[in-house]
């Protein structure tokens, strides 16, 4: 029994897809941040490491920063990729 393989070359997400992804991750980061702030404020009365709600709230605060940084990094990597793309195409035409 054989399997068929297909190769796809030069398939890259379009610029609008990446922008949508970055905007979605930014919105998710803001939502997670607001949940974290709310959890921290509600559970602030007993300030201790035994307070699970407070610890989860702090985790949400830290997680929101990570989500935002990852989304921004994806946007920057793809922006650089699209900046360098014409120079790669020109080098292929010269050969």
The pLDDT score that the predictor gives to residue 36 is 96
Residue 9 within a domain: no
- State how many domains the chain has: 1
Instruction: Return the beta strands (E) in the chain as ranges.
Output: none
Residue 1 within a domain: no
Residue 80 within a domain: yes
Residue 41 within a domain: yes
Residue 62 within a domain: yes
Domain membership of residue 65 as a residue range: 15-87
Residue 36 within a domain: yes
Region label for 8, one of left (φ > 0), alpha (ψ between -120 and 50) or beta (otherwise): beta
CA distances from 80 to 19, 55, 58, 74, 87 (A): 13, 38, 33, 10, 12
- Residue 54 is given by DSSP the state H
Residue 3 within a domain: no
- Asked if 68 contacts 29 with a C-beta cutoff of 8 angstroms, the reply is yes
Q: What is the pLDDT along the chain (95 residues), one digit of tens a residue?
A: 678 776 666 656 667 788 899 999 999 999 999 999 999 999 989 888 899 999 999 999 999 999 999 999 999 988 887 777 665 555 555 55
Residue 8 within a domain: no
């Amino acid at each position: 029994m054989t399997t068929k393989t297909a190769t796809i070359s030069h398939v890259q997400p379009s610029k609008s897809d990446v922008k949508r992804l970055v905007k979605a991750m930014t919105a998710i980061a803001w939502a997670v941040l607001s949940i974290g702030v709310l959890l921290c404020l509600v559970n602030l009365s007993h300030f201790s490491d035994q307070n699970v709600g407070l610890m989860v709230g702090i985790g949400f605060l830290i997680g929101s920063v990570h989500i935002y940084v990852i989304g921004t990094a994806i946007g920057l990597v793809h922006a650089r990729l699209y900046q360098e793309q014409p120079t790669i195409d020109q080098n292929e035409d010269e050969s």
